[in-house]
Amino acid sequence: MTPKSIVLVSGGMDSCVAAAIAAQKGESAFLHVNYGQRTEGRELKAFNDIADFYCVKERLSVDISHLRAIGGSALTDRKIEVPKGDLGKSEIPITYVPFRNAHLLAIAISWAEVLGAHEVYIGAVEEDGSGYPDCRREFFDAFEKAASLGTRPGSGISIITPLIKMRKSDIVKKGLALGAPLPLTWSCYRESRLACGECDSCLLRLRGFAEAGVEDPITYRITSKDQETRP
């Protein structure tokens, strides 16, 4: 059976909730992309756990670790340390992977064209996000136009960003409302055994759960209590 959509599933909370939203409309194919990030092994496990949860038949895991050869980001270059988070700052952070989402979308759209799927879901978040330029809806609109011109006539592939305007706390609530398997997800940029609780991604996630008034089901190495009692 032709899947209705391709869902980009990193293994994090946002893509898990995007998958839960796509699942309401029909069968999906799941796409995971390894781009040479530090925590890839743990993310791939989360991807497969979430795919098992949704009984996904069509799965594809793709390696584009040439983004590591290209470098320019703390996520892919081992020489640049992933800093402790600071959600207040406004410039583009060092964890930005140059033009990464274009690579993810190109793969998803090629696969959608071959499978005959007409929707690509990506759990990108604009307002509450990390200031990445390739996480804004205007970028996705431009890419969707490029996709309509660069694929076979009639392919008609839409890029769906169901979380783009949501706050992290709304994403937590939406995931819980849809029964998304949030305990299976992985968000930390730095660690693979216990989430660090300190990087941008952990801080955003923890703030989301706190604002939603719900406890995060995963375990952290540093808890907010530890942070409070530090000198």
Q: How far is CA 65 from the centre of its chain?
A: 17
Q: Does residue 101 belong to the site contacting its own copies (CB under 8 A)?
A: yes
Give residues 116-135 in contact with its own copies (rule: CB under 8 A): 133-134
- Which residues, 6 or more positions from 94, have their beta carbon under 8 angstroms from its beta carbon? 73, 74, 80, 82, 83
Contact pick of 1, 24, 55, 69 for its own copies (by CB under 8 A): 69
Of 180, 146, 148, 145, nearest to 162 by C-alpha is 180
Q: Does residue 156 belong to the site contacting its own copies (CB under 8 A)?
A: no
- Pair of tokens at residue 109: 């759209």
Closest CB to its own copies among residues 70, 222: 70
Q: Does residue 113 belong to the site contacting its own copies (CB under 8 A)?
A: yes
Closest CB to its own copies among residues 59, 221: 59
- The one-character DSSP state at 159 is E
Dihedrals phi, psi of 209, to nearest 5 degrees = -65, -40
Closest CB to its own copies among residues 157, 188: 157
Token look-up 């290209």 returns 70
Q: Does residue 210 belong to the site contacting its own copies (CB under 8 A)?
A: no
Q: Does residue 102 belong to the site contacting its own copies (CB under 8 A)?
A: yes
Query: Distance (Å, rounded) from C-alpha 61 to C-alpha 8?
Result: 10
Residue 120 parent element (H or E): strand 119-121
Dihedrals phi, psi of 33, to nearest 5 degrees = -125, 120
CB of 97 to its own copies, least distance (A): 8
Q: Does residue 114 belong to the site contacting its own copies (CB under 8 A)?
A: yes
Size of the site for its own copies (CB under 8 A): 42
Closest CB to its own copies among residues 20, 163: 163
Binding site for its own copies (CB under 8 A): 60, 62-64, 66-67, 69-72, 92, 96-103, 105-107, 109-111, 113-114, 133-134, 136, 138-139, 142-143, 145-147, 149-153
